[in-house]
């Protein structure tokens, strides 16, 4: 096979500036979610389809991926899911593929987000455990919840490398 027939494989990471502030309120108001705004960051990973990531976290990734991290068990809620779903729709609209099946959203939390799990159950959204510290559900896009304190050291290191890149 000559060089002209080779496919170009790529995987890029870039920081996103998404405003998730509407998902939280100050503790003093007493309305809505009762947690102060955490320091949430987002990263976009674009990956060609011929690249296979052979670990539990990256194996979930498709062509377009949004990773939101910095949550704790109290700050990750259903509002975050709705907002990131909306951002993913905007990203998909600008994509040449325009296919929801090529987009994933990962939510990274230090501890298991019990409130979010309860809200998903109440909304009749099925959450499937994929092993220690990883959960998947479908809400227009494929979502995964990653619970850092339940991951292996190797998985945490891989994830930190991606997020800090």
Structural domain total, the chain:
1
137 assigned to some structural domain: yes
Choose the weakest-confidence range: 120-129, 135-144, 156-165: 156-165
Cα(74)–Cα(38) distance, integer angstroms: 10
7 assigned to some structural domain: no
2 assigned to some structural domain: no
| CB-neighbour burial class of residue 24 (10 A; exposed 0-12, middle 13-18, buried 19+) | buried
The pLDDT tens digits for 102-117 are 899 999 999 999 999 9
- Rounded to two decimals, what is the model's pTM? 0.79
For residue 84, what are the domain limits? 13-23+31-164
Q: Residue 61 in contact with residue 47, Cβ under 8 Å?
A: yes
Choose the weakest-confidence range: 38-47, 76-85, 103-112: 38-47
Other Cβ atoms closer than 10 A to 99? 12
């Amino acid at each position: 096979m000559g060089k002209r027939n080779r496919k170009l494989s790529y995987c890029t990471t870039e920081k996103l500036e998404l405003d998730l502030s509407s998902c939280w309120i100050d503790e003093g108001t007493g309305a809505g979610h009762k947690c102060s705004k955490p320091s949430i960051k987002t990263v976009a990973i674009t990956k060609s389809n011929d690249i296979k990531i052979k670990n539990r976290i990256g194996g979930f990734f498709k062509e377009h991926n949004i990773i939101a991290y910095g949550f704790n068990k109290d700050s990750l809620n259903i509002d975050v899911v709705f907002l990131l779903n909306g951002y993913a729709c905007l990203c998909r609209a600008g994509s040449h593929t325009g296919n929801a099946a090529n987009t994933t959203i990962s939510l990274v939390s230090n501890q298991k987000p019990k409130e979010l799990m309860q809200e998903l159950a109440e909304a009749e959204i099925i959450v499937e455990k994929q092993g220690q510290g990883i959960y998947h559900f479908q809400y227009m896009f494929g979502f995964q919840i990653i619970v850092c304190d339940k991951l292996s050291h190797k998985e945490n290191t891989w994830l930190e490398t991606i997020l800090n890149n």
